Amino acid sequence: MGNVFGRKSRSSRVTEQDKAILQLKQQRDKLKQYQKRITLQLEKESLLAKQLLKDGKKEKALLLLKKKRYQDQLLEKTESQISNLERMVQDIEFMQIEVKVVEGLKIGNECLKSMHEIMSIEDVEKILDETQESIEYQRHIDEMLAGAMTHEDEEAALAELEAITQEEDVALPEVPTDLVPEIPEAANVETERKEARKQEDREMLAA
């Protein structure tokens, strides 16, 4: 019926290296099983050779020991093959890690190149210079606001203010043209009292 449910077949993530590692581990496990079986057999034959010697069957015991010696050599070869397989598995796994590291470095280098294309060294130097100028300018303002102005700074500020005033020609306030308001009546009474007191003082001095 085909793909009834519309599922898309996912691409297998198993690489050739993974398959090779799996095969090597399977061969290693088989050799270990063989090694275990031979070891058990050698133990039995060793006990049997001792029993034959006790029974006076020296020739059979000697033949059995020669066979055991041959199997010991096979056992040593098997151990060497297992070590080679394990070393090969480790080498492949380590190479896989190195490949991933190299791929990561490649991606990182491409990313850095694209970023360098966006911002050149000249742009970075310009931004750093502008940033430093802004920092120094802000520090200068902070010092001025904190009362750290010198006499020369004050004179320069006053001179700049005078120049701005002359340029803008600041207009003076106009003189009012309205009549002076009349003095209230209470103020007139107080003025008359002061004049009467002055007249009395003059009369007393003339007497």
Low-confidence ranges of the chain (pLDDT < 70): 1-12, 146-150, 168-191, 200-207
In this prediction, residue 166 carries a pLDDT of 79
DSSP state letter for 170: P
Note the pLDDT of residue 104. 92
The predicted structure's pLDDT at residue 66 = 84
pLDDT at 130: 86
| 53-81 pLDDT tens trace | 888 888 888 888 888 888 888 888 888 88
Predicted TM-score (pTM) of this structure: 0.42
Q: What's residue 168's pLDDT? A: 64
Asked if residue 90 lies in contact with residue 98, where contact means CB atoms within 8 angstroms, the answer is no
CB under 8 A, 24+ apart: contacts of 117-124 = none
